Chain A
Amino acid sequence: MPQIKEILQTMDYGPSPEASDHVTAWLEKHSEGFTHFIDGAFVSPENVEFFEVSDPARATPLGCVAQGTTDDVGKAVDAARRAFRTWSKLPGHTRARYLYAIARHIQKRERFLSVLETMDNGKPIRESRDIDIPLVARHFYHHAGWAELIETEFPGHAPVGVCGQIIPWNFPLLMLAWKIAPALAAGNTIVLKPAEFTPLTALAFAEICREVGLPAGVVNIVTGDGRTGAALVEHPGVDKVAFTGSTEVGRLIRQETAGSGKKLSLELGGKSPFIVFDDADLDGAVEGVVDAIWFNQGQVCCAGSRLLVQEGVADRFHSKLKTRMETLRVGSPLDKSVDVGAIVAPVQLDRIRELVEKGKAEGGTMWQASTPMPENGCFFPPTLFTDVEPSSTVAEVEIFGPVAVSMTFRTPEEAIQLANNTRYGLAASIWTENVNLSLDVAARVKAGVVWVNCTNMFDAGAGFGGYRESGFGREGGREGLYEYLAPVWEKGLAKGQPAAKPDLSALPAERAAEGAAEGVALATSTPTIDRTAKLYVGGKQARPDSGYSYTVRNGRGEPAGQAGLGNRKDIRNAVEAAAKASSWGGVTAHNRAQVLYYLAENLQTRSAEFEARLASLTGVSPEAAAEEVGAAIRRTFWYAAWADKFDGHVHATKSRHVTLAINEPWGVVGVVCPDEAPLLGFVSLVLPAIAMGNRVVAVPSASQPLLATDFYQVLDTSDVPAGVVNIVTGESDALAKVLADHDEVAALWYVGSAEGSAAVEKASAGNLKATWVSHGRSRNWLSASEGQGRDYLRHATQVKNIWVPYGE
């Protein structure tokens, strides 16, 4: 023990270990191995295969955990299914009481859970104690509130069913809370698989569920590795899969669940920009970097790992940052004076080392603090790379370690360009004292969470989730609840009769029925002037690239005209035109509303023509045709009305913070229209998308495309800017596949066959675009509850949460 006199010379902090005896006792109690928690009980350890879980800081084993088999997963899903029958029917208030009890019990076990989390994961006790576990409790409290309010706040919605949830190792219990709390509040039951590196707090949570008397089967925890996760994803009894983890695995899950009808939310990787403007509080921003990339050893999906610093202050900023790095303390995560703990596992450490080596080999300048490093265990020092460019591997790839890369920019324009130069879009941090600049950048950066003059702020009341390949769906807040609810109307849709595949023959047909093409019976020997329906791309009529047209037949199967046989190049051109029309998302909502009203006006002017066309082409009665056209006009009005009213929220998070949840358009949305209701179906899908500021590439009904091609004349006369709506006719499923494969398309709606839906979902994994498919179920387009609604608007937008702390 050093003398007081000596310490007075060194003024060291000395050791400050958090006691772990309670956790050690708990681990000893379970020394025979932890088993799954299924149907309200821990299963018997007989015939169970175990794997070891270790403390990464000390490289010592903590215990053995069961490797979940397909059979285990099956039992858990069955238990959840049984429990769902009663749990989902409970009054929200009753579920609220359970969630409240869980929140309370987590608070009562706060220190136990903190210490356990730190031992299992390697994160500093300060973080588990001050951040993770308090946020866990907060999440359950917040969602106890949602359970109470679910019936009144989410009318027309029902729980999804049995949720399969797979969580990562970086925030084990917090990610569990993010998954379980909203699912339970909404009335779902759960099978959760914690990460193989860090399953222990989930098992402690299972004990808490038992302690509070949560009904058996409502929460089931099955431990294991990726194979267990795969079994859960594949299980046909699962109605919803929620996954947080790597983009690679997210992609696999998207492919695996394609066509299954399982609802899916993915919270994936990131390479989030941290933008420092020259008028920022530089010292504040330096601390921001500490919280961004040296929080949880940088093993944070939303870590601000890509620093973008305005060139004029870059030297000064880097110098301040390097000075700050010197005072970061790396060491035993149970020590209360440690900033950076252990990397979760050796395999992760190897990956970090490999990428850092690559960064050096590619010419990056590496800076590491001279802070003393522990001799054993999984540790990596805080690291900064300068002299990197967007083309450097370390600037592009998610390292998931305490490694920041820094680049410079000259203007706000360039900062945004660099910030968005990534396939990800999870978070962004913006540092400037200029409110104009901060909000401008916040609006233009492609990220689901934007922090102004702060970083890594979390609250149960705000939504969290990514744009682009960072996934889709939100966790937290009102927007997060929708991931665990299904609209009753959509749940109730029946499988439709699969429409007969139209013969899209490019060969000349027999003689057209007289007047068929125009729908007006003309008894004259003078032929009507031939009409050519083209594709509609970038505000112009375009011939199909293929040079082929196909015969469109009327309800009696007689040739009634021709439509262009669009191909992948036509889709390419249409997407390009749509991408160019980006200013549509920036015009005022009032302006978009005006355009939509004008559309309704012009459609009404030509309603007789559309009615006649519908009747002649589809063979419906004039009354039915009039009803469809009338509904289309009304629907256009309806979305015009919504254009400036689908507001976001201001979430109540922390004091002196404005947290804005803004509904933003996706950008380019693909819309594949149904065969039935060829006009109304088209209008019902295209209009909500453009009302919210998206640009659309629409593939109309293949058998009846001429209503859509007639419609482009209405678009032309209604001041719809070029590129906002693009129409490509042809074979729907083939064109849908091209849209699904296109990385510039951010979201894709498909109404058609079950096979087509599966193909779209599968192909969408490429850039993880959000999809909304019908799975072969048909809806009544005339119905106001099925053919229109807020759900359409919700699918037309993604929520961006912008955090702005204030105070002078």
Chain B
Amino acid sequence: MTGNARRNEGTALKPEMFESIQVNLSAVERRAGTLTTRRSVKKEYQAAWLVKALTCIDLTTLAGDDTPGRVHRLAMKARKPLREDIVEALGLADEPPKVGAVCVYPTMVAPAVKALRGSGIPVASVATGFPAGLTPLPQRLAEIRYAVEEGAEEIDIVITRSHVLLGEWQALYDEVKAMREACGHAHLKAILGTGDLKTLRNVYKASMVAMMAGADFIKTSTGKEDVNATLPVSLTMIRALRDYGEWTGEKVGFKPAGGLKTAKDSLAWLILIKEELGNAWLDPHLFRIGASSMLADIERQLEHFVTGRYASASRHALA
């Protein structure tokens, strides 16, 4: 993330801005369900949209068996996400696309930073006792500071879900605000763990509190909950984000994560963003997709666009 992007300054906690929010599940599902039937992108437009999606990917590895070697391979793919001949055929050779960021665990930040040096691709680190977020607060803050010191420019924190489930808005606000302070210059992405929050009203309220506390991005999931990013949850968060923006003038970013695997998924979320937020959000500064396998599918689709032949993954470099 470039340093000149305007950050969300946050506000005081104002429960009156969200406590009486109404979110009707069926209505949200209807809108979410027809987004992709109302819009379609084909041919060169589809290719361009897939390239756009690619540039918004936080290419992620968050596994127990991550090693510096594994992270290095991922970082190299982040630098060169598409085979050269495909980039060439798309007419993008003078400015080859690269992914939005590489997202890793704190101890993997250093190898990632090293591998990405000079690429302009930021390293994002999860922190704060990811994924459950139930380690004591001092340790969680220390973890943030560690990752930032290692060179992470973005920190994907997890909120304490129990604060939402119990309606402890002040506690949630204080926690995220403290994390934001710990981030320093690094941008804060607040993972709500929407699969744990269950109701869309909870999702809306948690989104609002995170933004009031100064989150630069709000993010759906850790990828470890039972249910990860869905269109209805994303739509609800985006509506919160829009309401917050109308009220404060701030632009907050949005990151769906978990469960987004296909090129088709990426188009669905881009349509959602364009329809509900407008073109300004179709930019890695304000939109990211947390994914690992999606890139491979996008590369296959783009090769098909370029050659007219269906592609095989074995002909593309592994992430």
B51-62 vs A: 1/0 string, CB under 8 Å? 110000000000
Q: A5-B92, A279-B22, A453-B26 are in contact. Are A11 and B38 (CB under 8 A)?
A: no
Nearest CB in chain A: distance from B259 CB, A: 20
How many angstroms from the CA of A414 to the CA of B25 in the assembled complex?
28
Contacts of B92 in A (CB 8 A): 4-5
Query: A529 contacts the other chain (Cβ, under 8 Å)?
Result: no
Q: Is B11 an interface residue (CB 8 A)?
A: no
Q: Which A119-134 residues have a C-beta within 8 angstroms of B?
A: 126, 130
A284 touches B40 (CB 8 A): no
Cβ B51 vs Cβ A8 within 8 A:
yes
A492: interface (CB < 8 Å): no
Total cross-chain contacts (CB, 8 A):
97
A339 surroundings in chain B (CB, below 8 A): 38
Out of B28, B39, B41, B51, name the residue touching A4 (CB < 8 Å).
B51
Q: Is the CB of B52 within 8 A of A3?
A: no
Q: How far is the CA of A807 from the CA of B23 in the complex (A)?
A: 11
Enumerate chain A residues within 8 angstroms of B43, measured Cβ to Cβ.
14
Q: Are A16 and B26 touching (Cβ within 8 A)?
A: no
Q: How far is the CB of B53 from chain A (nearest CB, A)?
A: 11
The answer to whether B23 and A281 have CB atoms under 8 Å apart is: yes
Contacts of B23 in A (CB 8 A): 281, 284
Q: Known contacts being A4-B92, A16-B40, A339-B38, is A281 close to B27, with CB within 8 Å?
A: yes
Tell me which residues from 1 to 18 in chain A have a Cβ below 8 Å from any Cβ of chain B: 1-5, 7-8, 10-16
Q: Is the CB of B51 within 8 A of A12?
A: no
With A281-B22, A337-B38, A453-B24: A287-B30 Cβ-Cβ less than 8 Å: yes
Contact for B27 among A130, A337, A454, CB less than 8 A = A454
Q: Which residues of B contact A656 (CB under 8 A)?
A: 26
Determine whether the beta carbon of A7 is less than 8 Å from that of B30. no
Complexed CA–CA distance, A510 and B292 (Å)? 106
Which B residues are in CB contact (< 8 Å) with A807?
Answer: 25-26, 29
- Does A502 count as interface, using CB distance less than 8 angstroms? no
Question: Chain B residues with Cβ under 8 A from A281's Cβ?
Answer: 22-24, 27-28
With a cutoff of 8 Å between Cβ atoms, the chain B residues found around residue A496 in the complex are none
User: Given A4-B90, A288-B27, do A13 and B22 touch, yes or no (CB 8 Å)?
Assistant: no
The verdict on A808 contacting B48 (CB below 8 Å), with A4-B90, A13-B40, A283-B239 known, is no
Q: Which residues of chain A are within 8 angstroms of B24 by Cβ–Cβ distance? A: 280-281, 284, 433, 453
Q: Is B27 a contact partner of A287 (Cβ separation < 8 A)?
A: yes
Known pairs A4-B92, A126-B37, A337-B39; A433 contacts B45 (CB<8 A): no
Report whether B45 and A284 are in contact in the complex, using a CB–CB cutoff of 8 Å.
no
Bound-state Cα–Cα, A12 to B44, Å: 11
Q: Which residues of A contact B28 (CB under 8 A)?
A: 281, 284
Measured between alpha carbons, how far is A5 from B29 in the docked complex, in Å?
34
Most chain B beta-carbon neighbours within 10 Å: one of A7, A10, A285, A805: A7
B282 interface residue, CB < 8 Å from A? yes
Q: How many residues of A contact B (CB 8 A)?
A: 39
Do A130 and B37 touch across chains, with their CB atoms under 8 A apart?
Answer: yes
Known: A284-B24, A805-B26. A2 touches B52 (CB 8 A): no
Closest to B201 in A: A808
Q: How many residues of B contact A (CB 8 A)?
A: 37
Q: Are A13 and B45 interface neighbours, CB within 8 A?
A: yes
Q: Which of B167-203 contact A (CB under 8 A)?
A: 199-201
Cβ contacts under 8 Å, A130 to chain B: 34, 37
A24 and B21 CA atoms in complex are apart in Å by 51
Check B274–A14 contact: CB distance below 8 A: no
Question: Which residues of A, 761-808, contact B by the 8 Å Cβ criterion?
Answer: 805-808
Closest beta carbon of chain A to B247's beta carbon, Å: 11
Is A336 part of the contact surface with B, judged by Cβ < 8 Å? yes
Instruction: Give chain B residues whose Cβ lies under 8 Å from the Cβ of A282.
Output: 22
Contact indicator A7/B45 (Cβ below 8 Å): yes
* B40 in contact with A336 (CB, 8 Å): yes
Q: Which of the residues A10, A16, A657 comes within 8 Å of B42, measured between beta carbons? A: A16
CB <8 Å contact, A806 and B26: yes
Asked if A7 contacts B27 (CB within 8 A), the reply is: no
A327 within 8 A of B: yes
A140 to B96 Cα, complex, angstroms: 54
User: How far, in Å, is B42 (CB) from chain A's closest CB?
Assistant: 5
Contact (Cβ within 8 A) B199 A454: no
**Whole-angstrom distance between the Cβ of B197 and the nearest chain A Cβ:** 12
Assess the A4–B91 pair: CB atoms within 8 A: yes
CA distance A657 to B26 in the complex (A): 9
- Please report the C-alpha to C-alpha distance between residue A656 and residue B52 in the assembled complex, in whole angstroms: 37
Q: Which of A270-317 contact B (CB under 8 A)?
A: 279-285, 287-288, 291
Cross-chain contact of A284 among B20, B31, B39, B201 (Cβ < 8 A):
B31
How long is the Cα–Cα vector from A433 to B199 in the complex, in angstroms?
A: 14
Are the CB atoms of B31 and A15 closer together than 8 Å?
A: no
Measured between alpha carbons, how far is A807 from B25 in the docked complex, in Å?
A: 6
Tell me which residues across on chain A come within 8 A of B31, comparing CB atoms: 284, 287
A714 to B42, CA, bound (A): 77
Given contacts A279-B22, A281-B22, are A13 and B38 in contact (CB under 8 A)? Answer: no
* Bound Cα distance A291, B279 (Å): 24
Q: Which residue of A lies closest to B279 (CB)?
A: A11
Contact A14:B38 (CB < 8 A) given known A4-B91, A281-B23, A287-B30: no
Q: Which residue of B lies closest to A338 (CB)?
A: B38
* Minimum CB–CB distance for A375 against chain B, Å: 22
Bound CA span A454–B23, Å? 13
Are A1 and B239 within 8 A (Cβ)? no
Interface pair A15/B42, CB less than 8 Å apart: yes
Partner of B274, one of A11, A288, A453: A11
Q: A4-B47, A4-B92 are in contact. Are A337 and B22 (CB under 8 A)?
A: no
Residues in B with CB closer than 8 Å to A1 are 44
Q: Is B49 an interface residue (CB 8 A)?
A: yes
Contact, CB under 8 Å: A12 / B91:
no
B275 on the interface (CB 8 Å rule)? Answer: yes
**B199 to A, closest residue via Cβ:** A808
**A188: min CB distance to chain B, Å:** 36
User: What is the chain A residue whose CB lies nearest that of B50?
Assistant: A4
Known: A11-B274, A11-B282, A13-B39. A5 touches B22 (CB 8 A): no
Q: A8 is contacted by which of B26, B30, B52, B200 (Cβ under 8 Å)?
A: B52
Residues from chain A with Cβ under 8 Å of B29 in the complex:
807
Q: In the complex, what residues of B have CB within 8 A of residue A16's CB? A: 40-42, 45
Q: Which residue of A lies closest to B274 (CB)?
A: A11
B30 neighbours in A (Cβ, 8 Å): 287, 291, 454
List, in ascending order, chain B residues with CB within 8 A of A805's CB. 26-27
Chain A CB within 10 Å, residue with most, of B24, B26, B30: B24
Q: Chain A nearest CB: distance from B111 CB in Å?
A: 31
Nearest-CB distance from B55 to chain A (Å)?
Answer: 9
Give every chain A residue within 8 A of B42 (Cβ-Cβ).
14-16
Type the 1/0 row for B223-259, where 1 means its CB is closer than 8 Å to any CB of A. 0000000000000000100000000000000000000
Contact pick for B275, options A12, A280, A327, A657, CB 8 Å:
A327
Complex Cα gap A120–B126 (Å): 55
CB–CB B275/A4 < 8 A: no
Digitize B74-105: 1 where CB-to-A-CB distance is under 8 Å, 0 elsewhere.
00000000000000001110000000000000
* B26 x A454 contact (CB < 8 A): yes
Cα distance A2–B20 when bound, in Å? 47
Closest Cβ–Cβ distance, residue A369 to chain B (whole Å): 14
Contact of B40 among A279, A337, A454 (CB under 8 A): A337
How distant is B40 from chain A, measured CB to nearest CB, in Å? Answer: 4
Instruction: List the A side residues contacting B200 at CB < 8 Å.
Output: 808
How far apart sit A586 and B99, CA to CA, in the bound complex (Å)?
65
Q: Scoring B residues 257 to 300 as 1 if CB is less than 8 Å from chain A, else 0, what string do you get? A: 00000000000000000110001001000000000000000000
10 contacts between A and B (CB under 8 A): A3-B91, A4-B44, A7-B48, A8-B51, A11-B274, A126-B37, A279-B22, A288-B27, A337-B38, A805-B26
Further 4 A-B residue pairs, CB within 8 A, beyond A5-B91, A11-B52: A281-B28, A454-B26, A805-B27, A808-B25
The 10 closest A-B pairs by CB, nearest first: A284-B27, A14-B45, A7-B48, A805-B26, A281-B24, A336-B40, A807-B25, A16-B40, A281-B22, A284-B24
